[in-house]
Amino acid sequence: MKIAFIFPGQGSQSVGMMNHYSELPSIRETFDEASNILQQDLWSLASSGPADSLNLTINTQPVMLTADIALYRAWQQAKGSQPHYLAGHSLGEYSALVAAESLSLSDALKLVRHRAEVMQETVPEGTGGMAAIVGLDDDTISSVCTEVVNALPDTSLEPANFNAPGQVVIAGHSRAIAQAVTLAKSKGAKLAVTLPMSIPSHCSLMRPAAEKFALMLDKTTFHPPQIPVLHNVDVQAHPEAASIREILARQLYSPVRWTETIQTIAALGVGHVVECGPGKVLSGLTRRIDKSLENIALTDSSSLLKTVETLR
């Protein structure tokens, strides 16, 4: 029986998201460790917020990384089976690399904090954004983006997250996003809504950010992953440090190919997919992508301990 662990990223955070894991000692221990590294009280952000502060990209990214790894450490402490494959959605890819022992938690925290900073600096607030479109196929959504860009000179708009069949996030300039939402609805989208994000992730507007971020990646130590990590950009595992650095820089301006990631996990013979992080956003996507996979969200202490026993 093969197991894959998937790690959520930005969008899965909520105030109080770690309150259901209070019986697991690694949770607070990991948050204390991360808080010391960044000299910021991440536990307070996760447990008390306020939501506006937690949802700031510069805070969300290190908090979610810490939450993912805290749960993975709890899994290990409970003698859970080692997964055969790892993957992370966008930011979650850094959690996967820490779990694979390719990247230390300290270096990962510093990277994601810097990643958030360069992303926000590159596109000033109000200039760019993202929108979710549900109910249209990938080709139709791509054509919506092309039509809007042709109608609005000097704008950028692209598919950013291929999350599941019929569920795609687009990213680009704010005025292009607004027009695309209207156009998608006219083409029959069940839902087309602007997301509360000021940063247009995973699109060409992030190329300058990727160039800045690459400088820090070059100074960071990566080790060969002890567990294969499927990366967002190309749905491939990269065993060498140089290729991991390159793929993480490209990730900033490349779409997240999540549908293909889950399909590849299934094709590799995986039977159980475990969402290792707060919430169950990725479990919902997995069900939409491949109903044959048994997917489990570690939503609280009891579900984690039960899953350890089930998959042992």
Catalytically active residues are: 90, 202
Strands 2-7 and 167-173: unpaired
> Residue for token digits 């609280």?
300
Please check whether residue 151 is in contact with residue 157, taking contact to mean a CB–CB distance below 8 angstroms.
no
For the chain, the distance separating the N- and C-terminal CA atoms, rounded to the nearest angstrom, is: 10
Q: What is the 3-state secondary structure (H, E, C) of 162-179?
A: EEECCEEEEEEEHHHHHH
Strands 85-88 and 2-7: parallel
Closest CA to 172 of 135, 140, 197, 138: 197
The burial class, CB within 10 Å (0-12 / 13-18 / 19+), for 150 is: exposed
Q: Measure the CA–CA gap between 142 and 189, rounded to whole angstroms.
A: 13
Strands 85-88 and 229-230: parallel
Please check whether residue 3 is in contact with residue 83, taking contact to mean a CB–CB distance below 8 angstroms.
yes
